Amino acid sequence: MLKKNLNKLALVLGVVLFASCSEDDSIDNPDNNTGEETSVYITDSPVDQANVEAVFITVSEVKLNGKAIEGFQKSTIEISSLTNGSTEMLGKLNLDAGTTSSIELVLADSDDDNNAPGNYLVTKSGTKQELSGVTQIQLNDQVEIKEDGPNDIVLDFDLRKSIKQEGDQYTFVSDGSLQKSLRAVNTSNVGVIEGNVENSSDANAETVIAYAYRKGEFNESEKDGDQGVRFNNAVSSSVVSESNGDFEIHFLEEGDYEMYFASYSDDDQDGKLEFSGLIRAEAIGGLNLNGVSVDANTTVNLEVTFKGILDL
C-alpha cells in the first residue's frame, strides 16, 4: 500500500513539475520558439532626382503576418545610402513556413530623437524637406518563408518610385503607388545582375539609369510615367557610374529579365532631371539584353555598349 501511494505521489509531482516548466517557458518565450527564424532587412534602389543629396525614413514598426518584430525600437535610416546590395537589419522574428499573408512597414512622424519630421530628404544645398503623405505601408508583395531556413527577408524601398517632385517640393507618392514601390524577397531565391558600359560617356547624359524588367512587362508607355515617375514597372534599377560605367542590380528573383537604359540631364538647371530618351544598347559577347536569365545565388555579368539615343 505504501509503495502504491509513493508511486502516485511521484506521478503527481512529475505532472506538477512539467506544468510548471511549461508555464515558465511560455512566460519567457510566448511563442515557444515555434516557426522559422526570420531576419528582416531593408535596402534601396537609387533616387534619380538631381537635387537630392540624401533621404531619411523613420521606421517605428515592422509586421509580417500581423506579427511585429519583438523589441524593435524606432529607427531613423538613411535609406538612400543602402544601394548596390547594401542592407540594414531591422530585426528577427519566428514565422510559420509558407507564403506570408501580409507585410507592413509603419513610418513615424518624428525621428529616433523624437524630433519632427521623421521622414525627409536633404537637398544638395543642405535644405531639409519633409516627405509628407502615407505613414503606414501595406506591401502588395508577399514572400515565401522556407522550412529549415535560413530566411533572410529583404524589403526593397525603391526611392525612385516612392518620391515625386512638383517644382521645388517633394512628397511621397499616393498610397497605392507607394505600396507598389516596395517589394519583398527571400535572399535564398535571388541573384544579381552586374555590368559595365564600355562607352557610357557616349550617352551625353548627366545620369544614365539601368532598369531591369521582368521579361515581357516593358511597354512604350513606361517612358511617360505615373505621378512623375517613369519606368514604374521596372523591378529594380541602378545608376550607371559616371567614372567607370559599372552598374549592379541586386535582389532579383529567379527568372528572365530585360535590360533598358535611359538618359537624363538637367537641361533647364531646375534641380530636376529631364528624360532625354532610351539608349540603344547592345550586349557584347552574344548575350541578349531582352533575355537575361537570373538564377538564385548567382551573378550575371553583362558587358554593354551604347549605340545612340532611340527616337522619343
28 assigned to some structural domain:
no
Q: Which residues make Cβ contacts (< 8 Å) with residue 304, sequence separation at least 6?
A: 195, 196, 197, 198, 259, 261, 281, 282, 283, 284, 289
pLDDT number for residue 145: 97
CA atoms within a 13 Å half-sphere pointing along the CA-CB vector of 300:
28
CA atoms within a 13 Å half-sphere pointing along the CA-CB vector of 115:
5
29 assigned to some structural domain:
no
243 assigned to some structural domain:
yes
Distance of CA 120 to CAs 106, 158, 232, Å?
15, 15, 22
Question: Against a cut of 0.85, is the pTM above it?
Answer: yes
pLDDT number for residue 30: 41
pLDDT over 90 for what percent of the chain? 70
Q: How many CB atoms lie within 10 A of CB 309?
A: 17
20 assigned to some structural domain:
no
Greater confidence (228 vs 231) lies with 231
Radius of gyration from C-alpha coordinates of the chain: 25
pLDDT number for residue 33: 59
Type and span of the H or E element at 248: strand 246-253
Q: Which residues make Cβ contacts (< 8 Å) with residue 300, sequence separation at least 6?
A: 191, 192, 193, 194, 292, 293, 294
pLDDT number for residue 220: 87
pLDDT number for residue 29: 39
61 assigned to some structural domain:
yes
12 assigned to some structural domain:
no
- Mean pLDDT within 266-272: 80
pLDDT number for residue 17: 39
239 assigned to some structural domain:
yes
User: Cell for 243?
Assistant: 567614372
Average pLDDT, the chain: 88
Task: Respond yes or no on whether the N-terminal peptide bond of residue 46 is cis (omega within 30° of 0).
Answer: no
Grade residue 312 by pLDDT with cuts at 50, 70 and 90. Answer: low
Grade residue 272 by pLDDT with cuts at 50, 70 and 90. Answer: confident
pLDDT number for residue 308: 93
- Cα–Cα dist 245/240, whole Å: 6
Model confidence at 16: pLDDT above 80: no
- Mean pLDDT within 168-197: 93
As to burial, measured by CB atoms within 10 angstroms (0-12 exposed, 13-18 middle, 19+ buried), residue 174 is middle
pLDDT in tens, 126-144: 999 999 887 899 998 999 9
Domain that holds residue 52: 36-309
23 assigned to some structural domain:
no
User: Per the structure, how many domains does the chain have?
Assistant: 1
Type and span of the H or E element at 162: helix 159-162
pLDDT in tens, 281-295: 999 987 899 999 999
The DSSP letter of residue 187 is G
